[in-house]
């Protein structure tokens, strides 16, 4: 790292992200395969290898650039709220509907593509709006309330549910760009599956 003050800012940003998510050093230790004592030492010294710093970022679902922006005071765009992630993990068909909605651009296009009755489509959009994932607009339009691109953190409920649904292998990281999951051929993942 360039200087002690910049290093301190990076670790302060990591600590703030842990606090926001109500997580502690134990979580980072479990996600990175280190001891809690080692993680505490790293945070106390405010220095580590770039590889370890990347592992911490992966565990929290942010990239190194996102961490740097946060350390500089630029707010990072979070992905799913913990409430939304927990709901989607238990109801993957809502996650699939959200993906389709972002990809196709309108609720009626999703309704047509999936052959849904109007009341079922409205139930999906109502719930997604209540979870803060979309904002419905007039004339069959909507606005996605998530950033264009974000990383779904390892170890979270949605990550585990998607990994279980798509393959039995632990999926290291799931990246979403414009609501679409980047395919991972080596793990046999496909961007979309029909759960509805």
Is residue 152 within 8 Å of 159, Cβ to Cβ? yes
Q: Mention the CATH class of domain 4-71.
A: mainly alpha
What is the structure's pLDDT at 184? 42
Contact (CB, 8 A) for 189 and 167: yes
- Reading the block at residue 135, the tokens are 């904002």
Q: Which of 7-21, 150-164, 176-190 has the highest mean pLDDT?
A: 7-21
Q: What would the DSSP string read from start to end of 85-109? A: HHHHHH-HHHHHHHHHHHHHSSHHH
Cβ-contact 80, 152 below 8 angstroms: yes
The single residue listed with the structure tokens 């109801």 is 91
Strand-pairing partners, residue 180, are: 177
**How many Cβ atoms are within 10 Å of 122's Cβ, its own excluded?**
14
pLDDT in tens, 52-90: 998 998 888 787 877 887 787 755 456 787 788 889 989
Q: Tokens 């913990």 correspond to what residue?
A: 82
In the three-class reduction of DSSP (H, G, I as helix; E, B as strand; rest coil), residue 123 is classed as helix
Q: Which two tokens stand for residue 56?
A: 């911490």
Going from the C-alpha of 12 to that of each of 8, 43, 68, 71, the distances in angstroms are 6, 9, 11, 7
pLDDT at 150: 66
Mean model confidence pLDDT for the chain: 79
Q: Which residues of the chain does CATH 1.10.260.40 include?
A: 4-71
Alpha-carbon gap, residue 89 to 72, rounded angstroms: 33
Which has more confidence, 161 or 173?
Answer: 161
Q: Give the CA distances from residue 100 to residues 3, 75, 110, 144, 179, in Å, rounded to whole numbers and listed in that order.
A: 45, 28, 6, 12, 8
Place of tokens 């759960």: 195
Mean pLDDT on 16-37: 89
């Amino acid at each position: 790292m360039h200087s002690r003050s910049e290093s301190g800012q990076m670790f302060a940003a990591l600590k703030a992200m842990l606090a926001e998510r109500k997580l502690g050093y134990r979580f980072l230790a479990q996600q990175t395969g280190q001891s809690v004592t080692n993680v505490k030492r790293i945070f106390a010294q405010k220095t580590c290898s770039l590889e370890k710093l990347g592992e911490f970022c992966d565990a929290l679902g942010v990239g190194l650039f996102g961490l740097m922006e946060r350390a500089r005071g630029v707010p990072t765009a979070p992905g799913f709220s913990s409430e939304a992630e927990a709901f989607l993990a238990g109801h993957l068909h809502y996650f699939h509907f959200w993906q389709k909605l972002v990809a196709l651009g309108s609720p009626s296009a999703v309704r047509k593509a999936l052959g849904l009755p109007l009341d079922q489509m409205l139930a999906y959009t109502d719930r997604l709006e209540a979870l803060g994932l979309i904002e419905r607009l007039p004339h069959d339009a909507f606005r996605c309330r998530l950033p264009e691109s974000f990383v779904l953190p390892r170890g979270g409920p949605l990550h585990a549910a998607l990994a279980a649904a798509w393959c039995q292998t632990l999926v290291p990281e799931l990246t979403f760009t414009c609501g679409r999951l980047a395919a991972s051929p080596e793990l046999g993942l496909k961007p979309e599956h029909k759960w509805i």
